[in-house]
Amino acid sequence: MTLSDRTQQAIDAAVSSNKDRPGALLPILHGIQDQIGYIPPEAIPQIAGELNLSRAEVHGVVTFYHYFRQSPPGRHTLQICQAESCQAMGSEALTEHARKTLGVGFHQTTGDQAFTLEPIYCLGNCACSPAIMVDDEVYGRVTPERLEQILAEVKEAQR
Amino acid sequence: MSIQVFVPRDSSAISLGANRVAKAITNEAAKRGVTIELVRNGSRGMFWLETLVEVATPKGRIAYGPVNPEDVAGLFDANFLQAGDHALKLGLTVEIPFLKKQERLTFARVGITDPVSLADYIAHDGYRGLKRALGLSGADIVKEVTDSGLRGRGGAAFPTGIKWNTVLNTPADQKYIVCNADEGDSGTYSDRMIMEGDPFVLIEGMTIAGIAVGATQGYIYLRSEYPHALQALNEAIDVAVANNYLGTDILGSGKTFHLEVRRGAGAYVCGEETSLLESLEGKRGIVRFKPPLPAIEGLFGKPTIINNVISLASVPIILDKGGAFYRDYGMGRSRGTLPIQLAGNLKQCGLVEKAFGVTLRELLYDYGGGSATGRPIRAVQVGGPLGAFLPESQFDTPLDYEAFAALWAVLGHGGIVAFDDTVDMAKMARYAMEFCAIESCGKCTPCRIGSTRGVEVVDKIIAGTDHAANIQLLRDLSDTMLNGSLCALGGMTPYPVLSALNHFPEDFGLQKTEQAA
């Protein structure tokens, strides 16, 4: 399988702008994921070659960190905080509502590719629990009704 | 002169609509032909009042909140720019009781200034600490920090001055200052508030640390969940570099300090200092054996100061006003102030910076206003997911490292999460084990295997299977994790588990009297 030009460009740009920095691997992986949303498997041997690491080392880093994805997410990522403060304010019911509304579980993407549902452990928004994050935006004191509204707004904004 | 209107850029405020409020105010002002100067400040830390809008008046700043975008036209109608009356008017911000009773040293500027304005920072006593430090020897700077009694605010409470002194006295061609901004504990957000609300104070603290021990490179390891903090830090670093507060020859002193933000990638264990260093080096965040201490062999094998955001952000005021000034706050061996974060099921969640010694009850009821749901508060977890649960009978404990240790509890990073009486403590114990299993780095067996077995044992207890034997097994397993784990993740997961079991035995199918041992 060959990579699309866009993907290859993202890998090249992330590698060339970061490879000479100390501890370059995480910045490179961030650079790629910022551009295309995940770390394609084809990127691993390329990065390994540039940094003089084994493929196993690069793969090990990609899989260690929850944030790095190995497959493309949906157009939007919905993260629902599962940590204690949000539990104290009903995150469990909110999560259940999200599962039902979207028809998917954690780490899954809806059939229309609109949303990927992920758990997250603390957004630092504990004063406004329960909290969720949609792409890069944090929302606080989210009720099931508000969640539906946010999802609709996000979907609408894209059209 | 146009009227200054303040709308926070803090991410919690944004999560409640602050950006939309700011836009509505700008649009409404334009529509009415009124000239205003909109300042995006940090948050005052009263999150039940966010979005808190403030207007500068000759008498001081007047607050309105919580403001929603649809309230904006009404505020203009009520002439809020001249402090006009409105249902949302709260009066002078500084007179709001939640804020008035605080002792804000580290948070002195948060919510007051424009976070990325250097002029604003300097006008509010910023960079006075650095200017004084530039005239002192490294040993004298370290002595001020030691004299202040400052202990690491990340959770371990190790004396900051001792750490610095070790790095100072370890000769090396390169040393590093690393800021641990991987604030992963649930119920904590003070690091985030500093980074978003007063990033210069962290930059100044790190610069002072670098000058003190001869480190020329600093890294802020920031968790990936904080995009707004990343933005604010990078803006402030650019301004500091452009104005010679960072870089080579800082303020003409001949001293060099470079600073860079690095993003984490969602691993809780990277809040542990050695795991963080591995991650900064571009590796899996696997915990290192100690010794060697990071102060001797840290980042890339070089002597490294690694401190929490709040520890470093407390350094400028210590250097500005002297170690004794800071040490005069607090009680016992807990000196200075602690930025406490109220979270979970409370009416008034927010940031309370107080000298050590304030009690949990004062925080939960006087500041927090009791539970949000109106039900009794049954348990609080202090110090994040590795902190103990405390029952109502312990609410009179003062916030003090030693007082908490005496109860087999921790202050940690100062986060307090309240739960009402609908909480199931067996479920919370299960969650603590589950969280440890998800986040374990996998290096040591007690944490890696123990946490997974722990989930299974709690499940059996909840199901009533072989009940007495499994209670004993949970205690034995906790003992192994406590004493056999390499770092605090496995080593402290038993705190929430056993405190839940000991204080709330009835949730584990035990009689209240069965709680011995």
Domain tally, chain B: 4
How far is the C-alpha of B23 from the C-alpha of B71, rounded, in Å? 12
What are the extents of the domains in chain A?
5-64, 76-158
Q: Which residues of B touch A23 (CB under 8 A)?
A: 262, 280-282, 300
Same domain flag for B280 and B159: yes
Residue B58 maps to which CATH number? 3.40.30.10
Tell me the percentage of chain A whose pLDDT exceeds 90.
93
Rounded to two decimals, the ipTM of the complex is 0.96
Task: Output the domain CATH number for residue B249.
Answer: 3.40.50.11540
B153 and B228 share a domain? yes
Residues B311 and B371 in one domain: no
The verdict on B269 and B357 lying in the same domain is no
Kindly state the tokens that stand for A121.
């452990």
Subunit contact A139:B15, Cβ cutoff 8 A: yes
Nearest CA in chain A to B284: A61
Neighbouring CB atoms inside 10 A of B424's CB total 15
Letter for the amino acid at B244?
Answer: N
Contacts of B84 (CB under 8 A, 6+ apart): B78
Q: What is the mean pLDDT of residues A123-133?
A: 97
Kindly report, residue by residue over B204-254, the tens digit of the pLDDT.
Answer: 999 999 999 999 999 999 999 999 999 999 999 999 999 999 999 999 999
**Does the distance separating the beta carbons of A27 and B344 come in below 8 Å?**
no
Is the pLDDT score of A159 beyond 80? no
Amino acid code (one letter) for B146: T
Between chains, do A125 and B50 touch, taking CB under 8 Å as contact? no
Distance from CA of B320 to the nearest CA of A (A): 30
Whole-structure pTM value = 0.97
A122 and chain B in contact, CB less than 8 A: yes
Contact yes or no for A136 and B423 at CB 8 A = no
Find, among B19, B95, B106, B3, the residue nearest to B55 by Cα.
B3
Find where tokens 């200092």 sit: B273
Is A143 in the B-facing interface, judged by CB distances under 8 Å?
no
Residue of A61, A120, A128 lying closest to B283 (CB–CB): A61
Q: Identify whether residues B319 and B241 lie together within a single domain.
A: yes
Q: Give domain status of residue B198, yes or no.
A: yes
Contact B401, B333 (CB under 8 A): yes
In a domain, B106, yes or no: no
Cβ contact B50–A128 (<8 Å) = yes
Q: What is the pLDDT of residue B283?
A: 98
Q: With an 8 Å Cβ cutoff, is A123 touching chain B?
A: yes
CA-based nearest residue in chain B for residue A64: B284
> Is residue A20 within 8 angstroms of chain B, CB to CB?
no
DSSP at B247: B
In this complex, which of A22, A57, A68 lies closest to B265 when CB atoms are compared?
A68
What's the CATH number where B405 sits? 3.10.20.600
Q: Are residues B267 and B376 in the same domain?
A: no
pLDDT single digits (tens) B325-351? 999 999 999 999 999 999 999 999 999
Q: Which residue has the tokens 């205690």?
A: B475
B70 exposed, middle or buried (CB, 10 Å; 0-12, 13-18, 19+)?
exposed
Do B16 and A131 lie within an 8 Å CB cutoff?
Answer: no
| Distance (Å, whole) CA B202 – CA B213 | 17
Q: Which two tokens stand for residue B360?
A: 């949990």
**Residue A137 main-chain phi, psi, to 5 deg:** -105, 130
Distance from CA of B307 to the nearest CA of A (A): 19
The answer to whether residues B380 and B451 belong to one domain is no
Q: Are B332 and B145 in contact (CB under 8 A)?
A: no
> Which residues in chain B touch residue A157, judged by CB atoms under 8 angstroms apart?
none
Dist. CA B462–CA B430, nearest whole Å: 9
The CATH H-level superfamily of A76-158 is: Glutaredoxin (3.40.30.10)
Tokens matching residue B494: 């038993």
* Enclosing domain of residue B434: 425-515
How far apart are the CA of A142 and the nearest CA of chain B, in angstroms? 9
Strands (E), B210-302: 217-222, 258-263
Mutation choice for A interface testing from B9, B11, B15 by most A CBs within 10 A: B15
SS3 B458: helix
A2 pLDDT tier (thresholds 50, 70, 90):
low
Whether B515 has a pLDDT exceeding 80, the answer reads no
Q: What is the Cα gyration radius of chain B?
A: 24
Residue with tokens 């090990």: A60
Same domain, B143 and B206: yes
A107: left (phi over 0), alpha (psi -120 to 50) or beta: left
Backbone dihedral region of B321: left (phi > 0), alpha (psi from -120 to 50 degrees) or beta? Answer: alpha
Beta carbons within 10 angstroms of residue A67's beta carbon: 18
Contacts 24+ apart (CB under 8 A), B451-455: B451/B481, B451/B490, B451/B493, B453/B477, B454/B478, B454/B481, B454/B493, B454/B497, B455/B430
Find which of A84, A129, A146 to mutate to test the B interface (most B CBs within 10 Å of its CB).
A84
**What pLDDT score does B517 carry?**
42
Chain-chain contact of A88 with B419 (C-beta, under 8 angstroms): yes
Q: Are B131 and B250 contained in the same domain?
A: yes
Question: Mean pLDDT score of chain B, rounded to an integer?
Answer: 97
Q: Is residue B289 scored above 60 in pLDDT? A: yes
Instruction: Tell me whether residues B265 and A26 touch, CB distance under 8 A.
Output: yes
pLDDT > 50? residue B516: no
Name the DSSP class of B375: S
CB contact under 8 A, B224 and A67: yes
CB < 8 Å from A in window 372-411 of B: 372, 381, 385
What are the start-end ranges of the H helices in B333-444? Answer: 360-361, 401-406, 425-439
Domain end residue (candidates: B273, B308, B327): B327
Residue in chain B lying closest to A57 (CA): B283
Structure tokens at B488: 């605090």
- Min Cα distance B322 → chain A (Å) is 32
Interchain CB distance below 8 Å, A85 and B279: no
In this predicted model, what pLDDT tens digit does every residue of B6-18 receive, in sequence order? 999 999 999 999 9
Token couple for B514: 């069965």
Residue B112 lies in a domain: no
d(CA B296, CA B257): 20
B350 neighbourhood in chain A, CB within 8 Å: 127
d(CA B443, CA B445) in angstroms, rounded, equals 7
Domain annotation covers residue B110: no
Q: Which two tokens stand for residue B40?
A: 């995006």
> Residue A158, Cβ neighbours under 10 Å: how many?
9
**Spatial distance between the Cα atoms of B153 and B164, rounded to a whole number of angstroms:** 15
Question: What's the rounded mean pLDDT across residues A10-21?
Answer: 97
Is the same domain home to B315 and B343?
no
B345-401 per-position pLDDT tens digit: 999 999 999 999 999 999 999 999 999 999 999 999 999 999 999 999 999 999 999
Q: Quick one: pLDDT band at residue B423, thresholds 50, 70, 90?
A: very high
- For Cα atoms B181, B185, B191, give the angle at the middle one, nearest 5 degrees: 35
Cα distance between residue B125 and residue B101, in whole Å:
21
Would strands B389-391 and B415-420 be described as parallel, antiparallel, or unpaired?
A: unpaired
Which chain A residues are within 8 Å of B351, Cβ to Cβ? 127
Task: For B123-175, write each residue's pLDDT tens digit.
Answer: 999 999 999 999 999 999 999 999 999 999 999 999 999 999 999 999 999 99
Same domain, B157 and B293: yes
With 0-12 CB in 10 A as exposed, 13-18 as middle and 19+ as buried, what is B243?
A: middle
Cβ neighbours for B206, distance < 8 A, ≥ 6 positions apart: B177, B179, B218, B220, B257, B259, B312
Residues of chain B neighbouring A24 (CB-CB closer than 8 A): 282
Q: Is A100 on the interface with B (CB under 8 A)?
A: no
Nearest to A60 among B192, B284, B431 (CB): B284
Q: List B379's β-bridge partners, or say none.
A: B391, B419
The identity of residue B39, as a single letter, is: V
Report the share of chain B in percent with pLDDT over 90.
98
The one-letter code for the residue type at A156 is E
Contact flag B186-A138 (C-beta cutoff 8 Å) = no
Strand ranges (DSSP E) for chain A?
76-81, 108-109, 115-120, 132-134, 137-139
For residues B127 and B251, membership in a common domain is answered with yes
Whether the Cβ atoms of residue A25 and residue A35 lie closer than 8 Å to each other:
no
Residue from A64, A68, A149 whose CB has the most chain B CBs within 10 Å, to mutate: A64
User: Is some CB atom of chain A closer than 8 A to the CB atom of B187?
Assistant: yes
Find out whether A9 and A41 touch, Cβ atoms under 8 Å. no
Number of separate helices (H) and strands (E) present in chain A: 7, 5
Residue B197 · residue B39 · CB < 8 Å = no
| Burial (CB count <10 Å: 0-12, 13-18, 19+), residue B35 | exposed
* The two three-digit tokens of residue B461, written as one number: 């207890």
Across the A/B interface, how many CB contacts are shorter than 8 Å?
154
